[in-house]
Structure 1
Amino acid sequence: MKRRLIIIVLIIALLAAGCSQSDNIAGQREKLLSDNTADIVVGVAWPFEAKNDGFREGLQLALEEINQNGAAGHQIKLVQEDDQSSVTAGLSVAQSFANNLEMSAVIGHRSSAVAVPASKVYENAGLLLLAPSATSPSLTEGGVKHVFRLIPNDSQLGDKMADYAKSKDYKNIVVFYANDEYGRGLANSFEDSAKANGLQIIDRISDYKDSDDLKRLVKKWRLLGCDAVFIAETMPDGADFIVQLQAAGLNVPLMGGDGLDSQDLLAIAGKEAEGVVVASIFNPQAADENVQLFVKKYRDKYGEEPRKYAAQAYDALHLLAKAIEKANSRSPADIARALREQKSWQGVSGARAFDANGEVHHMASVLKRVVNGRLEQMN
């Protein structure tokens, strides 16, 4: 509670400092960027040091491809900052980007907990934000004009997993979630959709004391007829929970959101992850020609398979470049208009179009299952 209060105070302080200048800053930005003769400056905020997961590599691959011909005839220049997955550091980065009047857009942040407050800073400064991984519905609330989400939100992913649970005839489900913006949002969405589908949530927890406490919970869940567990967590905590759950003796199907779609799930949980089903936004095994071309280029350049965040970074920069070309402008307002008017854009992670609030739609998510130590798409 104290930490959340500190975060709220930080946001209020930053907005209070910027509100009196926000119209002026946004106006100055638009005036400066109406000159379409200079390079296009794009900020990138990501926890590069601790949780890169191929994001920088996907970004660099896209940058090299785009700058061969440029976007609307101009080169894109990236300003990359590490937000440390911290609200404090993320808001500091956001303010520095907002103060850079030559910057047209920002790609980031990884965590919803950071992206949501940072988006308020960008919106006030008239700076475009493309959010490649934040799934909290609150990101696009409040009539934002400059914020665009590039993946399905928690509500969409929760619905997807609840539909899957119903199709498998699961009746009594336990929800384990991270007590943060991502975990709470996904857990709420899954629970609402599960109940609407006639499923019962027999327990919902975000923590437990130790292995003995977990064993006590498992015993209770068995008595309540638990036949599946939904995990709204990210790595490495999600994988750790799976290992501890198996050790506690609960042998039921496990499923989770996109936070579990990671090679770290396999590396940490090992054989305990076998059979786990997760929602995903990228399938490197897809037969689509553009996907396989991206996978080949990435593998040839970096010597490894692209992860979902590599694909998200690659798509984000290419999507931005396409919108800049359509708008023929560096102006955030013009680029935002081009994104909203776009009927559909096909990236390696799927097709994207945006509603009036900047929420992505018509983008399909996929289900993957851990089979023989590999995450494979389910039919």
Structure 2
Amino acid sequence: MKRIVKILLVFMLSLGTLTGCWDADLAKQRAKEAGQGDDIIIGVPVPRDFTEKNTGFLKGLELALEDINSRGVNNKKVKLEIVDDRGVFKNAVDIAQGFSENTRMTAVIGHWFSDICIPVSSIYEESGLLVVVPTVSNTELAENNYRYIFQNVPSDKKVAEHICLHAKNEGFKHMVIYYEDSSYGWNLADAFEKEAKNNGIKIVDRCSDMISEIDLRRAHDKWTALDFDAVFLALNMPEGGQFIKEFRKLDPRTPILSGDGLDVSNIAEALGGDGEGVVMATIYNPLDGRPELKEFKERYRQKYGEEPDVWAIQGYDSLQLITRAIEETDSCSPAVLADYLRNMKSMRLVAGDISFNDYGEVQGREVYKKKIVNGELKYID
């Protein structure tokens, strides 16, 4: 039902694009006006409360902005317009419309959640606004074959491949998938089920939206009868943490695997003892010895007195990606920047050397696994 509502909303937005003020003319106007004036304007729509409490994303952006503006970008400063969409679809639509109508704006970094990002991306695409997506791994985003949208995070397919291989190596034969009722949950669950089949793992059940302890108990009885030996979660936080806590009341031993939706900086603390043994995907390995990562970590620690998480790096790299493209092309035109990003051989960033394919999907990014052991996160092969 959610998906139908979103499709209808996007359809109505598309009609507005054809008949209202943000039509193809906006893209032409932006090509002339983006970057004009003293500042290069980049919009950042985020669920601010969530990102500040659970991630270092905004701190990574702040550090990148400090670095960039200390040297300037083609004799200009970068200005971030950070706006709180609160993770609410209507708010995000309003923000996207506002950003699109600002023809001096060059790019957007966001949105955070796939249920928001995927539908509102059509607004940005129609208005010719460059978008770098640092958190949404859903393959639906690239399937739209947009010109201006770039997915700077490995896809759910790649995440599923790595976690399924781990499950196979652990000897799991019968697994359950529990997913959230969102495009992220559906897509990751589908990707995992497909990869499980390829690895000889049978999915004995997949379900979502168990809203009570009774629902979970009944489901667990069913899974036990089907001889399940592990659970895969396609959930974001905080819902993922809540499920694990409830599940552990019934079952303290069955292994739990997850996509990257649980990969927030305070995950071990949030789960407490219930998190012991949980394995999750991540796109960041702090043990990587590359000098770019080492330098970033040292500067981040000096500024904030803490270790950076994956989302701090995503914030930092996403802003660096855009500004380096501006420097390389000597242009703030989103069309010029989009063509450059799609055709560049590679760019060295904190997270690694990346490029993009014809669909705007990032290439060169790795997926890793980590496990909560004795209350701490340990990276595993």
* Fold-level similarity (TM above 0.5): yes
How far apart are the structure 2 equivalents of 1:125 and 1:240?
39
| 2:77 alignment counterpart | 75
How far apart are the structure 2 equivalents of 1:10 and 1:353?
32
Determine whether 1:140 maps to 2:142: yes
> Residue 347 of structure 1: CA displacement?
2.2
Determine whether 1:104 maps to 2:106: yes
> Residue 72 of structure 1: CA displacement?
2.9
Give 2:62's match in structure 1, choosing from 60, 63, 83.
60
> Residue 60 of structure 1: CA displacement?
0.7
> Residue 143 of structure 1: CA displacement?
2.2
SS in 1 for 2:284: coil
Structure 1 segments of 4+ aligned residues over 4 angstroms from their partners: 3-6, 35-38
Could you tell me which runs of 5 or more consecutive residues in structure 1 were left unpaired when the two chains were aligned. Answer: none
**Contact 2:51–2:58 under 8 Å retained in 1:** no
How far apart are the structure 1 equivalents of 2:211 and 2:326?
51
> Residue 80 of structure 1: CA displacement?
1.2
What is the Cα-based RMSD across aligned positions, in Å? Answer: 1.7
> Residue 38 of structure 1: CA displacement?
4.5
| 1:165 alignment counterpart | 167
| 2:45 alignment counterpart | 45
| 1:14 alignment counterpart | 13
More divergent stretch after superposition (181-190 vs 206-215): 206-215
> Cα–Cα, structure 1 residues 299 and 147, in superposed 2: closer, same or farther, change >3 Å?
same
How far apart are the structure 2 equivalents of 1:304 and 1:316?
21
How far apart are the structure 2 equivalents of 1:254 and 1:143?
35
> Residue 4 of structure 1: CA displacement?
4.6
> Residue 149 of structure 1: CA displacement?
0.3
Determine whether 1:88 maps to 2:90: yes
Give 1:337's match in structure 2, choosing from 323, 339, 342.
339
SS in 1 for 2:317: helix
How far apart are the structure 2 equivalents of 1:264 and 1:57?
15
**Contact 2:96–2:123 under 8 Å retained in 1:** yes
Instruction: Summarize deviations over 1:209-233 as a string: whole Å, max 9, x none.
Output: 4223322322221221211110110
How far apart are the structure 1 equivalents of 2:249 and 2:87?
30
> Cα–Cα, structure 1 residues 184 and 5, in superposed 2: closer, same or farther, change >3 Å?
closer
| 2:315 alignment counterpart | 313
> Cα–Cα, structure 1 residues 119 and 159, in superposed 2: closer, same or farther, change >3 Å?
same
How far apart are the structure 2 equivalents of 1:322 and 1:56?
19
Determine whether 1:23 maps to 2:24: yes
Q: How does 1:214-233 map to 2 (within 5 A)?
A: 214-233=216-235
**Contact 1:36–1:329 under 8 Å retained in 2:** no
How far apart are the structure 1 equivalents of 2:95 and 2:36?
26
SS in 2 for 1:279: strand
> Cα–Cα, structure 1 residues 175 and 6, in superposed 2: closer, same or farther, change >3 Å?
closer
In the comparison of the two structures, how many residue pairs are matched?
Answer: 377
> Residue 249 of structure 1: CA displacement?
2.0
> Residue 325 of structure 1: CA displacement?
1.1
> Residue 36 of structure 1: CA displacement?
6.6
SS in 2 for 1:68: helix
How far apart are the structure 1 equivalents of 2:274 and 2:166?
21
Identity %: 38
| 1:288 alignment counterpart | 290
Could you tell me which runs of 5 or more consecutive residues in structure 2 were left unpaired when the two chains were aligned. Answer: none
More divergent stretch after superposition (122-131 vs 19-28): 19-28
How far apart are the structure 2 equivalents of 1:255 and 1:100?
43
Q: How does 1:169-248 map to 2 (within 5 A)?
A: 169-248=171-250
Relative to the length of structure 2, the TM-score reads 0.94
How far apart are the structure 2 equivalents of 1:142 and 1:215?
40
> Residue 6 of structure 1: CA displacement?
4.2
More divergent stretch after superposition (201-210 vs 145-154): 201-210
> Residue 99 of structure 1: CA displacement?
0.2
> Residue 62 of structure 1: CA displacement?
0.2
**Contact 1:108–1:132 under 8 Å retained in 2:** yes
> Cα–Cα, structure 1 residues 263 and 68, in superposed 2: closer, same or farther, change >3 Å?
closer
Relative to the length of structure 1, the TM-score reads 0.95
